[in-house]
Chain A
Amino acid sequence: MSAEAGTASRTSLIEARNVTRILPGIVPTTLVQDIDLSIRENEFVAITGPSGSGKSSLLYLLGLLDLPTSGEVLIRGRATAHMEEEERAFIRLSLLGFVFQFHFLLPEFTILDNVMLPMRALARIPVPTMRRRARELLGSLGLADHVDKRPDQLSGGQRQRVAVARALANEPPIILADEPTGSLDSKASEQVFQVLRELVDSEGKTVVAVTHDLGLAGRMDRRIELLDGRVVSDQKLQRATAAG
Chain B
Amino acid sequence: MNLIFEIAWTHVRSRVRQTGFAVAGVATGVGFSIMMASLMEGSQNDFTQRLVDTLAHITVSDERRSPPPQPAEKFFASAEIHGLTPQARRPGIKNPLATMAALEAWLPGEVGPSVRVPGIIRYASQDVAVNIVGIDPNREPKISDLPKQMRGATVNALFRATNAIIIGDALSSRIGARIGANITVQTSEGARINAQVVGFFHSGVRSLDERTAYVLIKTAQILSKQTGLINELRIRLRDPLAARDIAMRIENETGYKSVSWQEANEDLLSSFIIRNMIVYAVVGAILLVASFGTYNIIATITHEKARDIAIMKSLGLSEFTVRAIFVVEALIIGLIGGLFGFLLGYLLCRGLGVIRIKSPFIDSDRLPLAYSYLHYLLAAGVALASSAVAGYWPARKAARVHPVDIIRGAT
Contact = CB atoms under 8 A, between A and B. Distances in A.
Chain B binds chain A: yes
Contacts of B312: 106, 117
Interface in B286-340: 307-308, 310-321
Contact of A104 (B10, B11, B307): B307
A106 B3 CA distance: 13
B315 A86 contact: no
Given A104-B307, A108-B14, A179-B411, A118 B403 contact: no
Contact of A121 (B321, B407, B411): B321
B408 interface: yes
A93 interface: yes
B410 A102 contact: yes
B2 A98 contact: no
Given A66-B404, A108-B11, A120-B3, A102 B318 contact: no
Interface in A61-109: 63, 65-66, 85-86, 89-94, 96, 98, 100-102, 104, 106-109
Contacts of A86: 318-320
A140 B397 CA distance: 39
Given A65-B403, A117-B312, A89 B318 contact: yes
A121 B408 contact: no
Most buried by B among A66, A166, A178: A66
Contact of B10 (A98, A108, A118, A120): A108
Given A65-B403, A109-B10, A178-B411, A93 B308 contact: no
Contacts of B404: 60, 65-66
Contact of B408 (A56, A90, A98, A113): A56
B317 A89 contact: yes
Contact of A56 (B11, B314, B317, B411): B411
A104 B408 CA distance: 12
A89 B315 CA distance: 8
A90 B407 contact: no
> Chain B interface: which size bin?
20 to 34
B308 A106 contact: yes
A93 B319 contact: no
Nearest to A109: B10
> Chain A interface: which size bin?
35 or more
Interface in B1-32: 2-3, 6-7, 10-11, 14
B411 A92 contact: no
A66 B310 CA distance: 12
B283 to A, nearest CB: 36
Contacts of A106: 7, 308, 311-312
B411 A100 contact: yes
Nearest to B315: A118
Given A60-B404, A85-B319, A86-B319, A98 B11 contact: no
Nearest to A88: B316
Contacts of A101: 410-411
Contacts of B314: 63, 65, 92, 98
A84 to B, nearest CB: 10
Contacts of B11: 108
Contacts of B407: 60, 65, 100, 104, 178
Contact of A118 (B310, B316, B319, B320): B316
A93 B14 contact: no
Given A65-B403, A101-B411, A94 B3 contact: no
Most buried by A among B6, B7, B316, B319: B316
Contacts of B308: 106-107
B291 to A, nearest CB: 25
Interface string B372-411: 0000000000000000000000000000001110011011
B325 to A, nearest CB: 11
A178 B6 CA distance: 29
B315 A93 contact: yes
26 contacts: A56-B408, A60-B407, A65-B403, A66-B402, A85-B319, A86-B318, A86-B319, A89-B318, A89-B319, A92-B316, A93-B315, A98-B314, A101-B410, A101-B411, A102-B410, A104-B310, A104-B407, A106-B311, A106-B312, A109-B10, A117-B312, A117-B317, A121-B318, A123-B3, A178-B407, A179-B411
Interface of A: 56, 60, 63, 65-66, 85-86, 89-94, 96, 98, 100-102, 104, 106-109, 113, 117-118, 120-123, 127, 166, 178-179, 182
- Nearest 3 CB-CB pairs, A to B? A93-B316, A92-B316, A104-B311
